[in-house]
């Protein structure tokens, strides 16, 4: 994912699996496993899995991950 694409994604309230993978520096298969285990909450939007920004923030906080702060505040910095 290109940096500009990632910045646009941060402004949305819901993330695609590929965006979560890029944000957490994982591959998509790892994100799908997290979703299957229930580690990360998701919902289907028009048939595609989406992760809400608040669910991502909860996961990052619970796992004590170090990520760019703009991930949690919607890219407003």
**What are the extents of the domains in the chain?**
3-64
In three-state secondary structure terms, 5 is: helix
pLDDT, tens only, 62-73: 888 887 766 666
Contact 41, 51 (CB under 8 A): yes
**Which residues make Cβ contacts (< 8 Å) with residue 63, sequence separation at least 6?**
none
Question: What single-letter DSSP state applies at residue 13?
Answer: S
Q: Which DSSP helix (H) or strand (E) runs through 4? A: helix 3-10
**Which residues make Cβ contacts (< 8 Å) with residue 27, sequence separation at least 6?**
21
pLDDT, tens only, 11-58: 678 899 998 998 888 999 999 999 999 999 999 988 999 999 889 888
Altogether, the residues listed in the chain come to a count of 77
Instruction: Please tell us whether the domain made up of 3-64 is placed in CATH 1.10.1660.
Output: yes
């Amino acid at each position: 994912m290109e940096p500009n694409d990632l910045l646009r994604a941060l402004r949305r309230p819901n993330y695609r699996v590929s965006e979560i993978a890029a944000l957490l520096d994982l591959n998509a298969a790892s994100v799908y496993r997290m979703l299957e285990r229930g580690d990360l909450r998701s919902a289907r939007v028009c048939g595609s899995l989406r992760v809400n920004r608040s669910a991502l923030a909860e996961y990052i906080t619970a796992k004590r991950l170090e990520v760019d702060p703009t991930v949690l505040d919607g890219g407003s910095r």
